[in-house]
Structure 1
Amino acid sequence: MRWPRATAPAWIVHAGFLACVLAGGTGYALTAGHSRVVIYTLVVVLSIALFGQALISGHLTHRRPWMLAIGGLVLLLADHLLWPYWIVEGHLGRGEGAPADLLLAVAHGLFLVGAAMAVRHRMSADAGGIIDAAIFGMCAGGALWVFVFQSHLPAGSTPLGQTQMLTDVLLLSACAGCLLRMAVAATGAARGTIAYLLLTVVLTGGAMTVGALSVPHRGAVSGVLMLAAFLTIAAGAVHPGAPAAVEPQAVVERPDGRYRLFWLGLALSVNPGIAAVQALRGDQTAGPQLPLATMLIIPLVLVRFKQLTGQRERAERVLAHQASHDELTDLYNRRRIMAEIDRALTGPDDVIVLLCDLDGFKPVNDRYGHAAGDDVLRAVAVRLAATAGPDREVGRLGGDEFLVLCRGGADTEIAGLRDRIQAAVRAPIELPAGSVSVGVTIGAARATAGSGVDRAGLIARADARMYAGKPGRHHRNAAA
């Protein structure tokens, strides 16, 4: 069997990752110039090769997110090959607006898109939580930009470079928020891969921070952190939990809507609050980047509002359906079918009701149990709805009593419908315990348009005619 595979032990990946980080990081730190370029190139190529092997072997399922991730790796390799000394000489995180900065931001954008696609599969049951996590991440990224990056950028940084860098910080922060949410909710082997991907984002952000803060030997430190970031994403791809990392996972939603909205509102107020403080202080380092960061968050907020609105509409539809339909058979319940009769009686057509009571249902219920009885009722409900057709309403009054409401129709037509219902109900019903059959007695009653007959009187007549065909049974009033 080809490697990697989901049954391999995870410690092999951890050991290989640590060995590569120690070897590559030590070699990079102890050398300089061209040697660092060579080591960096070898590590990037190794990462892409491991990622590619995981794709080719079929280890990585739902390939599209992973293809975007490897596309980001290839862009980073192209960035390094075009400007091999850019990281070595400590240009990362300086906001210079160089083409290398732009290509790096595009690569991170691919990672974000790939993470979003993976999240769509993995956390489909927690879409709201993921959007919230991305919003929190971007809000935190705005604060990080002001207090860590913007205030320490060199004089040589350009507005374009600062905008590129801010976008990069926001993308990484959004990725970190989503992956952190996934890591908290993850179970089993998937945690390992998600943890590696989260570590990739943290290491990349750390490398940029080192450059922005002008840490001594920032070229060496940033380079080592970026090497480790390359190796973490490769380790995540070959980790045994990689196939499970993009599989859907059920998430139990906590009933904390008010608190979530509070924290979400607080997070959204951070960047405008910082901008207001900068304006009051007359901070000369303040620029248009922070308002831009707030504008970039707006689409996520709109998506979240749309999702909340959709949830509310779906909940209202579910509640409306539950209020008007029988839970067991999904037919109209007693209240709804009675309201339909009242509505029909105000119309211009004759109103005919067919009151249906099952024969032989109790012996089935007693012999096979209530679960089998429920199966019989569901089967009868399906047959009644199919036989009545879309122009007639069917409801369950309770127990084994059903009602079919007809608006208009000649006596011959109603008689034919009655015969079809009896034939459909009598057909054998297959249960796990065996085949059973029940019959049905039907009482029909008509209210002529304008006759003044009310619903109670109409059903009472149908009820009497139904029980006339069942001698010896106790009369039960089906009226509301």
Structure 2
Amino acid sequence: MRAFFLLFAAAAMITYVIAGDGRPVVQLVIVATPLLTFAYALASRRLPRHRPWLISVGGLILLLIGQLTWPGWLDGHLGRAEGTPAELTLSASHGLFLMGTAMALRRRLASDASGLLDAALLGLCAGGPLWVWGVQPHLPADVSPVGLLLLMIDVFAISGVIGCLVRMGVARGPGRDSIVYLLLTAVLTLTALVTGRPEPLLMAFLTIAGAPIQRDAAAVTEPLRGAAAPATSRLTLLWLAVALCVNPLLSVVQILRGTDTASLMLPVGTLLVIPLVLLRFHRLAVQREQAERTLAHQATHDELTGLRNRRHMMASIDRALAGGSAVSVLLCDLDGFKPINDRYGHLVGDEALKVVAARLSAVTRPADVVGRLGGDEFLVVCEEGSPSELAARIRETLSLPMSLSIGVVSIGVTVGFASAPPGSALDRDTLVAEADAAMYAGKSARAA
């Protein structure tokens, strides 16, 4: 398929070069080619996520309408900033392409949203130098303000998309062939706008026609598994700061030189960059909040079971005693856990501990605090109800067989509890020691 497509693309471009007066017809055929490949891919269900591709097809249809309405317009008018309806049609079609690409990018690299924003910002900021040194020298003297605005937005926006596609291609995974075609499409389109030559734009039509017929095209719009977002480093922020300074500095230089388009480049570039900068700040704030929540959770929870850890349980007892209400602590030590751990290994032992944790959480009341002290010892702190009744429910629940990866096993539990009445002078260590003594007494009685 790829070899056939490359031969067709080469034949189409050669035909265009030698067509002479027949070039408008060849242009029409080339513009219609991606519509055919997209229709084939959608009809054959090679593209299960339709929406991003359909938006791009809308842009292709708009370009085809423009080609039928203004045949041959590409020759001598492309990138001239004339402000004609043909230019408006071209810009609108590019906008639809960008929307479709943005939807695909967002879904594929959902776990790397910050990286995509960084890539888009760098691409947008690269649009400034490209405009000053690539586009501006070739602009005619009688440019239209509307045409100039449309062309400038095109250059900046496509530069941003190229940055995102590069980021998308760097993340290894299925769909890279189609991404390469999309990247070539964006680069060729930008080349056509910079040079004013129709040949790169026609080649862009052919490259986008190849994107949906690749074997792994469906993967472009699927989340990339295993693509963890890299942490934002100081170097990344430094590069972003430097990039954001490029366009203002270029505008200052242009104004000092008396360049007419300098006053337009700064607001256009800034208006395109500001939403991305705000999104980037939002992402940084979200990442910070997530990191703080993670650290707070790790500081108070047991990593294996998700229950509260020793530090939090001791603090819970202190708070309950300071409140002056009745407090009971139940110390639970598993019976028969060590043989399971020794025979089947620590992974199976961890499975059993997770089941125990889930059952303890289910049998206790919402107001009770359940935690793991370490090993196979668990602790429950409650301020209401009968501790003896709760201990009985815990014994009954944990004695039930549990289904693990190696089969069904059974364990038991010895529960020792101690209570402090309202206004008691008992401290936390004394209360826990009494529960510990009661638990060992229970084990001794069972052994006897």
| 8 Å CA contact 1:28, 1:223 repeated in 2 | no
Task: String of CA shifts for 1:131-157, please: whole Å, max 9, x gaps.
Answer: 111111111112211222233311221
Could you tell me which amino acid in structure 2 is paired with residue 244 of structure 1?
A
Residue 237, structure 1, aligned to residue 212, structure 2: yes
Could you tell me which amino acid in structure 1 is paired with residue 198 of structure 2?
G
Residue 206, structure 1, aligned to residue 191, structure 2: yes
Residue 65, structure 1, aligned to residue 52, structure 2: yes
What do you get for the CA RMSD once the two structures are aligned?
1.8
In structure 1, the partner of 2:203 is 228
In structure 2, the partner of 1:280 is 256
Could you tell me which amino acid in structure 2 is paired with residue 384 of structure 1?
L
Could you tell me which amino acid in structure 2 is paired with residue 231 of structure 1?
L
Q: Distance in 2 between matches of 1:372 and 1:132?
A: 43
In structure 2, the partner of 1:406 is 382
In structure 1, the partner of 2:339 is 363
Q: What displacement does 1:67 show?
A: 1.0
Q: What displacement does 1:264 show?
A: 0.8
Could you tell me which amino acid in structure 1 is paired with residue 190 of structure 2?
G
User: Given the two structures, how large is their TM-score scaled by the length of structure 1?
Assistant: 0.89
Q: Distance in 1 between matches of 2:177 and 2:421?
A: 73
Q: What displacement does 1:108 show?
A: 0.9
In structure 1, the partner of 2:18 is 30
| 8 Å CA contact 1:352, 1:446 repeated in 2 | yes
Closer/same/farther in 2, CA of residues 470 and 252 from structure 1, 3 Å limit: closer
| 8 Å CA contact 2:114, 2:229 repeated in 1 | no
In structure 2, the partner of 1:217 is none
Q: What displacement does 1:30 show?
A: 2.1
In structure 1, the partner of 2:433 is 460
In structure 1, the partner of 2:179 is 194
User: Given the two structures, how large is their TM-score scaled by the length of structure 2?
Assistant: 0.95
Q: What displacement does 1:279 show?
A: 2.7
Alignment of 1:84-95 (within 5 A): 84-88=71-75, 90-95=76-81
Could you tell me which amino acid in structure 2 is paired with residue 156 of structure 1?
D
The number of residues matched between the two structures is 446
Task: String of CA shifts for 1:415-462, please: whole Å, max 9, x gaps.
Answer: 222211111010001122222111111111111222221101111111
| 8 Å CA contact 1:54, 1:237 repeated in 2 | yes
Residue 266, structure 1, aligned to residue 242, structure 2: yes
Counterpart among 102, 115, 118 of residue 132 in structure 1:
118
Q: Distance in 2 between matches of 1:266 and 1:390?
A: 53
Could you tell me which amino acid in structure 2 is paired with residue 50 of structure 1?
T
Task: String of CA shifts for 1:18-63, please: whole Å, max 9, x gaps.
Answer: 3223322222222334x21111111222221111101110112322
Residue 152, structure 1, aligned to residue 152, structure 2: no
| 8 Å CA contact 1:71, 1:107 repeated in 2 | yes
Alignment of 1:71-86 (within 5 A): 71-86=58-73
| 8 Å CA contact 2:153, 2:268 repeated in 1 | no
- Give the SS at the match of 1:469: helix
Q: Distance in 2 between matches of 1:321 and 1:340?
A: 15
Q: What displacement does 1:100 show?
A: 1.3
Counterpart among 54, 63, 70 of residue 41 in structure 2:
54
Could you tell me which amino acid in structure 2 is paired with residue 201 of structure 1?
A
Closer/same/farther in 2, CA of residues 73 and 443 from structure 1, 3 Å limit: same
Counterpart among 415, 420, 442 of residue 447 in structure 1:
420
| Structure with the bigger percentage of helix | 2
- Unmatched segments (≥5 aa) in structure 2: none
Residue 435, structure 1, aligned to residue 408, structure 2: yes
Q: What displacement does 1:362 show?
A: 1.8
In structure 1, the partner of 2:442 is 469
| 8 Å CA contact 2:416, 2:437 repeated in 1 | yes
Task: String of CA shifts for 1:104-135, please: whole Å, max 9, x gaps.
Answer: 11111111111111112221222111111111
Q: What displacement does 1:92 show?
A: 0.8
Closer/same/farther in 2, CA of residues 404 and 252 from structure 1, 3 Å limit: closer
Q: What displacement does 1:285 show?
A: 4.4
Alignment of 1:243-262 (within 5 A): 243-249=218-224, 250-254=226-230, 257-262=233-238
Could you tell me which amino acid in structure 1 is paired with residue 206 of structure 2?
L
In structure 2, the partner of 1:122 is 108
Could you tell me which amino acid in structure 2 is paired with residue 197 of structure 1?
L
Q: Distance in 1 between matches of 2:279 and 2:247?
A: 19
| 8 Å CA contact 1:326, 1:332 repeated in 2 | yes
Q: Distance in 1 between matches of 2:236 and 2:48?
A: 33
Q: Distance in 2 between matches of 1:396 and 1:284?
A: 71
Alignment of 1:250-399 (within 5 A): 250-254=226-230, 257-399=233-375
Q: Distance in 1 between matches of 2:446 and 2:150?
A: 84
Q: What displacement does 1:472 show?
A: 7.8
Q: Distance in 2 between matches of 1:228 and 1:434?
A: 62
Q: Distance in 2 between matches of 1:282 and 1:72?
A: 37
- Give the SS at the match of 2:71: coil
Q: Distance in 1 between matches of 2:157 and 2:95?
A: 7
Q: What displacement does 1:374 show?
A: 1.6
Q: What displacement does 1:372 show?
A: 1.9
- Give the SS at the match of 2:81: coil
Q: Distance in 1 between matches of 2:418 and 2:124?
A: 67
Q: Distance in 2 between matches of 1:140 and 1:121?
A: 25
Q: What displacement does 1:473 show?
A: 9.9
In structure 1, the partner of 2:151 is 165
| 8 Å CA contact 1:356, 1:441 repeated in 2 | yes
Q: What displacement does 1:16 show?
A: 2.7
Task: String of CA shifts for 1:213-272, please: whole Å, max 9, x gaps.
Answer: xxxxxxxxx332222111100111112231222332233555561111111111111001
| 8 Å CA contact 2:19, 2:26 repeated in 1 | no
Alignment of 1:4-43 (within 5 A): 12-13=1-2, 15-33=3-21, 35-43=22-30
Closer/same/farther in 2, CA of residues 423 and 79 from structure 1, 3 Å limit: same
